[in-house]
Structure 1
Amino acid sequence: MTDASGFSLVQAVVLLGAATVAVPLFRRFGLGSVLGYLAAGLAVGPFGLGLISNPETLLHTAELGVVMFLFIIGLEMRPSKLWTLRRQIFGLGVAQVATCGILLTLVAMAAGVSFPVAVVGAMGFVLSSTAVIMQLLQEEGETASPEGQRSISILLLEDLAIVPLLALVALWGTLANSADANTAPVWQSAAIAVAGLTTLLVAGHWLLDPFFRIIARTGAREVLTAAALLVVLGSAVLLESVGLSMAMGAFIAGVLLAESNFRHQLEADIEPFRGILLGLFFLSVGMSLNLQIVANEWRIVLGGVIVFMAVKGLGIYVIARLTRSTHAIAMKRTALFAQGGEFAFVLYAAATAAGIFDERASAIMSAIVIISMAFTPIILLAQAKMHRGGAITDFHGIDEADGLRGQVLFIGFGRFAQVASQALLARRVELSVIESNVDMIRSAANFGFKVHYGDGTRLDVLRASGAETAEAIVVCVDTPESANRIVELCQSAFPMTKLYVRSYDRGHSLQLIKAGVEFQIRETFESALVFSQAVLTGLGFGEEQAKDAINEVRHRDSKRVELELVGGLREGRQLFHGNLEKPEPRPFFKPRAKKEE
């Protein structure tokens, strides 16, 4: 069975089989899914086993994966999040991207490359792999750390940078073709592009949220999925029709829906399509890699990998040190960001379509990025081995969350959750427990706890963990950012489920109270009060005196929280230090007289 384009069902089976074998194998060795897809495409493509001879046909379909990838990135670009990280995104992020881009462009031009090719090739390499870096930060639990936030800010800037870069490629392509008598003038093309962009912005601002509200009232989830696909593809087609890129249209649609009440549902609906089509995109890139050109130009490819990684690494290190990072932090950031990433293939494909890259330039630059991505996991594993004494994460014997149906869902199973769960287990309450720390899962198993692997900040994992049917969800994760993300997801997708959340500090408690969770408690507050009471009694104060002192602290804290909730931060601080209401002075507690020996 073959369609009009010459792509057969047998070839689809070959692609799926190659990906099914290669991707888990590459992930098992810590090399990542992207390299697995690229290797699978290379193996079955015309320059490998030759099982598929027309990768261009697949590439046009697979570009929809890039479109949906940009849409989901746009959904994450909430204005509030961007504003919180604005200094790091538009300070540190711009400094690193601009510095590395200029350095790599100069290196490419010194090698005799024309200016447009040098800029596109350099900027493609500057855009590091978001998937690889975010996965590593999450595995190490550093997403909430100061350095983790700086890394995320740089990634956000790089994700944003792909949009103007694609527009620049489209502009250069238009200028290159302007000599053709049948081509419209540049000013006319620019006017049409601006009109199309304005139309999308206006329609998105005024129509998208009411549109999805109407669709949601039908109660048919598959219709909401169809509507999400319609918005993504419609936005992409609109901007492509006015001379801009499909990816840019999808990204803008995502940004417009970032503050929508339907954001999480849209993200969950689009995610399966994005994953499959993006995998096909990387497969097609691997199939399109001309090994004959790479073999003939191996000196340029190998030299490009070494020089580009070294120069980019130097730029990253210098910017890190100029922004007052320590040597160790600067070296770690260099190891994280020195490689090219998946966005390079998007940019190079657009440059090839626009006529900026020829087949030789595309093959050489793609090979340089692929090899740099292959080197990166090895560098990171070596670095992790040095810092962790050689320990490498092993998932053998650990079950992922799937089909769980507990009465209560615990998210995170550290010391706090282990104690909190014991009373529930004593009353035979059925629990489902998920945790993202493999070592914690193994440790809990030693004490008879069945804990499943799962990231509670993902809606699909929450559904697989039984959040939809649970009577209560207990959030006991370590970082406030992760807890807030889980609360936001649960309130959006499972509004009838009760939420009990472990809080990090008073500020986090205020956020959770404002979010409307059922119950929150600071992780150390009550234990610290009990500890303080024991110290007082140990010093000779009476039991009632110690209890009164603890109750007074608890009362003041409760009053301060109430005042801060209504904006009275100054009054709350005053109460914390005492004397807000200026009560009558009370005699200081006197310890009981010690008995004489």
Structure 2
Amino acid sequence: MEHVAEGASLVRDGTILLGAGLVFVLVFRRLGLGATLGFLVAGALVGPHLLGLVGDAETKLGFAELGITLLLFIVGLELSPTRLWRLKQDILGLGLVQVVACGAAISVILLGLAHFSLAAALAVGMPLALSSTAQVLPMLQSSGRLRTPFGERAFSILLFQDLSIIPMITIIAAMSRNPADMGGPPGWVLVIYTVLAISGLIAAGRFVLRPLFRLIGRLGEREMFVFAALFTVIAAAALMQALGLSPALGAFVAGVMLADSPYRHELETDVEPFRSILLGLFFLAVGMMLNLQAIADRPLFVVAIAAALVVTKAGVIALIGRAFRMEWRPAIALGLLLSQGGEFGFVLLAQAQNAYLIAPEAASLFGAIITLSMATTPFLMAATRAFREEPLTPEQERDGPTADGANAIIVGYGRFGQTVGQMLMTQDIPVTLIDTDIEMIDIAGEFGSKVYYGDGTRLDLLRQAGAAEAEMILFCMDGDQLEPATVESIQDAFPNAALYVRAYDRRALVKLKSGPARYVVREVLESAVRMARLAMADLGISRADIDRAEDMYRARDKERLRIQLEAGDLRAAREMVAAQAPWGGGERP
């Protein structure tokens, strides 16, 4: 009976948490405040310090921290060597300077205003130097600036911040006053453990995980990708935890070692739903743990430190941007965009509390400060839009994507897709290739083509592959695999992308022609016309007659297709099909 009661309580708590999260996220999204803030407020409302509808926040937080682990795994998957190399100056320069300068400035403020010890000021100042990736990236995506020079600089800073959580956790552990931490291995042993663990994960990725995913791909068991992806993340995190290191570090390394594999987009797509749910539960649990009474006792402190945080980070980041040769308007915009605290701040504050560097009341106060600072960002960006944006004259153009030409996604890289892709690449058009044929992917890799594994008709995988920013999506799969409803849903999801579809035969052409695709191409039409021309030329027919025969066929075929589309019947206009005359019944056609 006790187990039954516990199960009922878990179901009840889950219903309340998910329901509150759903309502508040929808409201906050509608107000432009972001999902993260909605989860935090929902957790605080139903938590033990306000309505008291749900308790045991610590247990829920421990479970939901897996969401942070999955988030770092996805961050690792984003770090392909080519992208890292292109953004290396902004990541290692701009990002490093921002984290160090903002962390130092905030720590000095805490030393002066809050009278913290040096260790406590550092333990709090470092988390407050981080910004909210979960809040900023959706803002950049919705404004269409993610792939502009401004957006890539903001992304580079956020990426370095996400990476810096690992050394920050190590620094907090080194300053720990917790006897349990003090009884752990010395720092130099942890360094050796870290190097050995990372080396082991890299070796496992090359010699175990890649063959495993290749086998799963050949078997066509897509559900096993989900199991294998979660196993990879949890096993890597468990290895690090067993060695006394950060589980998040293991997940991050697991992501990096698979970032350049053909399975990157499929893994992102499979892990993303779990990451989103667990990360939402993490923020709900953090909201539940906010000590609202401690905040109510010192409201002026919370408001003053939150204001100091926003002003300090905005000013420091703007000055850093100017030092990195940004114009003053984009530099101020960058400072305001990254002026808030971030979700990883809650993780590091919990680490500082467990290390006895700050009291639980202080962790609640600074958690509220991060939450309040996050609430200011949408209002700051809206209020300063006219001031931040350079006035445009009719002759000027707005910032565009950094890549020249169109961004294209080709789904299906067989004999048809290879020709399409290679022709686009001759014009330096950036192309992302997706296919499900493992043997073909391996062969393409031998010739220097990077083809990702996955079902390119799935919206979630296309979104991971960058379809929201792509200018065209070309479906070059073999066979009759694409349904009109699928094409319509893809066009609705990515309205800025022109769709090109390879039709298997005339029946598929009729089926797809009335849909939203910009072009539907019969796969054998041109090659068949070419062969007919060659055959007629070998039979001695003149070039003019061959041209006339081709024009006649194309005109008749076009008219027949129009009639079939109007009738919705493939058998319509059968009398227009050219038929073989009886033997000896006239001249050669």
Which residue of structure 2 aligns with residue 140 of structure 1?
A: 143
**Are positions 1:458 and 2:464 aligned together?**
yes
Give per-residue Cα distances to partners, 1:479-536, cap 9 Å, x unaligned: xxx98xx99xxxxxxxxx9xxx99xxxxxxxxxxxxxxx9xxxxxxxxxxxxxxxxxx
Which residue of structure 2 aligns with residue 470 of structure 1?
A: 482
The answer on whether the counterparts of 1:178 and 1:184 sit within 8 Å (CA) in structure 2 is: no
1:155 equivalent among 154, 158, 164: 158
User: Take 1:132 and 1:85, find their aligned partners in 2: how far apart are those partners?
Assistant: 21
* Inter-CA distance 185–163: structure 2 relative to 1 (3 Å threshold): closer
User: Take 1:330 and 1:184, find their aligned partners in 2: how far apart are those partners?
Assistant: 44
Which has the larger displacement, 183-192 or 31-40? 183-192
Provide the aligned length of Structure 1 versus Structure 2.
421
The answer on whether the counterparts of 1:309 and 1:338 sit within 8 Å (CA) in structure 2 is: yes
* Inter-CA distance 3–279: structure 2 relative to 1 (3 Å threshold): farther
User: Take 1:70 and 1:44, find their aligned partners in 2: how far apart are those partners?
Assistant: 28
**Are positions 1:30 and 2:42 aligned together?**
no
Which residue of structure 1 aligns with residue 268 of structure 2?
A: 267
The answer on whether the counterparts of 2:310 and 2:373 sit within 8 Å (CA) in structure 1 is: yes
The answer on whether the counterparts of 1:170 and 1:243 sit within 8 Å (CA) in structure 2 is: no
Give 1:222 deviation, angstroms.
1.1
User: Take 1:179 and 1:53, find their aligned partners in 2: how far apart are those partners?
Assistant: 28
Which residue of structure 2 aligns with residue 63 of structure 1?
A: 65
Which residue of structure 1 aligns with residue 562 of structure 2?
A: none
2:98 equivalent among 93, 96, 99: 96
Which residue of structure 1 aligns with residue 221 of structure 2?
A: 220
User: Take 1:188 and 1:163, find their aligned partners in 2: how far apart are those partners?
Assistant: 17
- Describe the SS at the equivalent of 1:8: helix
Give per-residue Cα distances to partners, 1:126-145, cap 9 Å, x unaligned: 11111222222222222232
Give 1:304 deviation, angstroms.
0.8
Give 1:317 deviation, angstroms.
1.6
Which residue of structure 2 aligns with residue 353 of structure 1?
A: 354
* Inter-CA distance 114–194: structure 2 relative to 1 (3 Å threshold): farther
* Inter-CA distance 241–170: structure 2 relative to 1 (3 Å threshold): farther
Which residue of structure 2 aligns with residue 396 of structure 1?
A: none
**Are positions 1:255 and 2:267 aligned together?**
no
* Inter-CA distance 186–164: structure 2 relative to 1 (3 Å threshold): closer
Give 1:256 deviation, angstroms.
0.7
User: Take 1:294 and 1:105, find their aligned partners in 2: how far apart are those partners?
Assistant: 21
* Inter-CA distance 410–188: structure 2 relative to 1 (3 Å threshold): closer
User: Take 1:102 and 1:264, find their aligned partners in 2: how far apart are those partners?
Assistant: 38
Identical pairs, percent: 39
RMSD: 3.6
Give 1:188 deviation, angstroms.
4.3
Q: Normalization by structure 2: what TM-score?
A: 0.65
Task: Name the aligned partner's letter for residue 258 of structure 1.
Answer: A
User: Take 2:410 and 2:385, find their aligned partners in 1: how far apart are those partners?
Assistant: 29
| Structure 2, gaps ≥5 residues long | 391-408, 412-458, 501-511, 524-589
Give per-residue Cα distances to partners, 1:229-279, cap 9 Å, x unaligned: 000000011101111111111111001110011111110000110010000
**Are positions 1:9 and 2:11 aligned together?**
yes
**Are positions 1:170 and 2:173 aligned together?**
yes
Give 1:167 deviation, angstroms.
2.6
Give per-residue Cα distances to partners, 1:455-487, cap 9 Å, x unaligned: 96435989xx9979438989x99xxxx98xx99
Give 1:190 deviation, angstroms.
4.5
User: Take 2:460 and 2:189, find their aligned partners in 1: how far apart are those partners?
Assistant: 52
* Inter-CA distance 455–266: structure 2 relative to 1 (3 Å threshold): closer
**Are positions 1:129 and 2:141 aligned together?**
no
Written as runs of structure 1 = structure 2, the 5 A alignment for 1:170-569 is 170-173=173-176, 176-177=178-179, 183-384=184-385, 457-458=463-464, 469-470=481-482
Task: Name the aligned partner's letter for residue 64 of structure 1.
Answer: L
Q: Normalization by structure 1: what TM-score?
A: 0.64
**Are positions 1:72 and 2:78 aligned together?**
no
Give per-residue Cα distances to partners, 1:266-303, cap 9 Å, x unaligned: 10000110010000000000000000111112222111
